[in-house]
Structure 1
Amino acid sequence: MQSTARSSSALVLVLAVAAMAAAAAAAQQLVPCMYIFGDSLVDNGNNNNLLSLARANYRPYGVDFSGGPPGRFTNGLTVVDMLADMLGFRPPLIPAYAAAQPSDLARGLNFASGAAGIRSETGNNLGRHYPLSEQVEHFKAAVRQMGPNASSPERLGRCIFYVGMGSNDYLNNYFMPNYYTTAQSYDPDAYAADLLQEYSRQLAALHALGARKFAVAGVGEIGCIPYELARINTQQGGGGGSGTAPPATAGTGVSISLGGVGLTIGGGGGAPANASMSSSRTGGVCNDEINSAIAIYNRGLLAMVKRFNRGQKLPGSTFVFLDTVRAGRALVAGAAAHGFTVLDRGCCGVGRNNGQITCLPMQQPCDDRSKYVFWDAFHPTEAANRIYAAMAFNSTSAADAYPINIRQLAAI
Structure 2
Amino acid sequence: MASSLFIINISYLVVLVSLATLSRHCDAARAFFVFGDSLVDNGNNNFLMTTARADSLPYGIDYPGHRPTGRFSNGLNIPDIISEHIGAEPTLPYLSPELQGEKLLVGANFASAGVGVLNDTGIQFVNIIRIGDQLRYFQQYQQRLSGLIGQDQATQRVNQALVLITLGGNDFVNNYYLVPYSFRSRQFALPDYVNYVIFEYKKVLARLYELGARRVIVTGTGPMGCVPAELALRSRDGNCDTELMRAASLFNPQLVQIINELNSEVGSDVFVSANTYQMHFDYLNNPQAFGFVSTKVACCGQGPYNGIGLCTPASNVCPDRNTYAFWDPFHPTEKANRIIVSQIFSGTTDYMHPMNLSTILAVDEMKN
TM range (shorter): 0.7 to 0.9
Structure 1 residue 293: deviation in Å?
1.4
Distance across 1 between alignment mates of 2:181 and 2:242: 21
Distance across 2 between alignment mates of 1:200 and 1:213: 16
Structure 1 residue 127: deviation in Å?
2.1
Q: Is residue 292 of structure 1 aligned with residue 231 of structure 2?
A: no
Checking the alignment, whether the CA contact within 8 Å between 2:61 and 2:68 is kept in structure 1 is: no
2:163 corresponds in structure 1 to 161
Q: Is residue 366 of structure 1 aligned with residue 368 of structure 2?
A: no
For 2:295, the aligned partner's letter is L
Structure 1 residue 180: deviation in Å?
4.0
Alignment RMSD, CA only? 2.3
1:214 corresponds in structure 2 to 216
SS of 2:45 mapped into structure 1: coil
1:408 corresponds in structure 2 to 359
Match of 1:44 among 38, 42, 45: 42
Distance across 1 between alignment mates of 2:324 and 2:270: 35
Larger proportion of helix: 2
SS of 1:35 mapped into structure 2: strand
Structure 1 residue 362: deviation in Å?
5.5
Structure 1 residue 363: deviation in Å?
4.0
Residues 386, 172 of structure 1: alpha-carbon distance in 2 compared, 3 angstrom cutoff: same
Checking the alignment, whether the CA contact within 8 Å between 2:58 and 2:68 is kept in structure 1 is: no
* 1:304-352 Cα shifts (integer Å, max 9, x gaps): 1111222x2x354521100011101222344223211111010010100
SS of 2:230 mapped into structure 1: helix
Match of 1:199 among 182, 198, 201: 201
Structure 1 residue 209: deviation in Å?
1.4
For 2:171, the aligned partner's letter is D
Distance across 2 between alignment mates of 1:64 and 1:287: 30
Checking the alignment, whether the CA contact within 8 Å between 2:297 and 2:305 is kept in structure 1 is: yes
Distance across 2 between alignment mates of 1:159 and 1:400: 22
Checking the alignment, whether the CA contact within 8 Å between 1:46 and 1:97 is kept in structure 2 is: yes
1:267 corresponds in structure 2 to none
Q: Is residue 101 of structure 1 aligned with residue 99 of structure 2?
A: yes
SS of 1:345 mapped into structure 2: coil
1:56 corresponds in structure 2 to 54
1:126 corresponds in structure 2 to 125
Structure 1 residue 69: deviation in Å?
6.2
SS of 2:295 mapped into structure 1: strand
Structure 1 residue 199: deviation in Å?
1.2
Q: Is residue 381 of structure 1 aligned with residue 349 of structure 2?
A: no
Q: Is residue 70 of structure 1 aligned with residue 48 of structure 2?
A: no
Give TM-score, length-normalised by structure 2: 0.86
SS of 1:130 mapped into structure 2: coil
Distance across 1 between alignment mates of 2:37 and 2:116: 7
* 1:121-163 Cα shifts (integer Å, max 9, x gaps): 10011221111111111101111111104421x3322111100
Superposition map of 1:107-146 within 5 A: 107-146=106-145
Structure 1 unaligned regions, length at least 5? 1-15, 242-284
2:3 corresponds in structure 1 to none
Distance across 1 between alignment mates of 2:77 and 2:257: 27
Structure 2 unaligned regions, length at least 5? 1-16
Superposition map of 1:235-274 within 5 A: 236=236, 241=238
Match of 1:181 among 180, 183, 190: 183
Distance across 2 between alignment mates of 1:179 and 1:169: 15
Structure 1 residue 165: deviation in Å?
0.1
Structure 1 residue 101: deviation in Å?
2.1
Checking the alignment, whether the CA contact within 8 Å between 2:176 and 2:184 is kept in structure 1 is: yes
Structure 1 vs Structure 2: percent identity of aligned residues?
33
Checking the alignment, whether the CA contact within 8 Å between 2:94 and 2:110 is kept in structure 1 is: yes
Checking the alignment, whether the CA contact within 8 Å between 2:223 and 2:281 is kept in structure 1 is: no
Distance across 1 between alignment mates of 2:134 and 2:269: 20
Distance across 1 between alignment mates of 2:189 and 2:355: 33
Distance across 1 between alignment mates of 2:165 and 2:300: 27
How many residues get paired?
339
2:255 corresponds in structure 1 to 301
Residues 179, 127 of structure 1: alpha-carbon distance in 2 compared, 3 angstrom cutoff: farther
2:274 corresponds in structure 1 to 322
* 1:62-90 Cα shifts (integer Å, max 9, x gaps): 11113366100010000111011101113
Give TM-score, length-normalised by structure 1: 0.77
SS of 1:374 mapped into structure 2: coil
Checking the alignment, whether the CA contact within 8 Å between 1:43 and 1:113 is kept in structure 2 is: yes
Distance across 1 between alignment mates of 2:203 and 2:52: 26
Distance across 2 between alignment mates of 1:144 and 1:317: 26
Structure 1 residue 49: deviation in Å?
2.6
Please identify, of 194-203 and 177-186, the stretch whose mean Cα deviation from structure 2 is larger: 177-186
For 1:136, the aligned partner's letter is L
Match of 1:232 among 219, 230, 234: 234
SS of 1:40 mapped into structure 2: coil
Larger proportion of strand: 1
Checking the alignment, whether the CA contact within 8 Å between 1:349 and 1:377 is kept in structure 2 is: yes
Higher relative contact order (CA 8 A, sep 6+): 1
SS of 1:343 mapped into structure 2: coil
Checking the alignment, whether the CA contact within 8 Å between 1:44 and 1:96 is kept in structure 2 is: yes
Residues 122, 406 of structure 1: alpha-carbon distance in 2 compared, 3 angstrom cutoff: same
Distance across 2 between alignment mates of 1:69 and 1:221: 27
Q: Is residue 353 of structure 1 aligned with residue 305 of structure 2?
A: yes
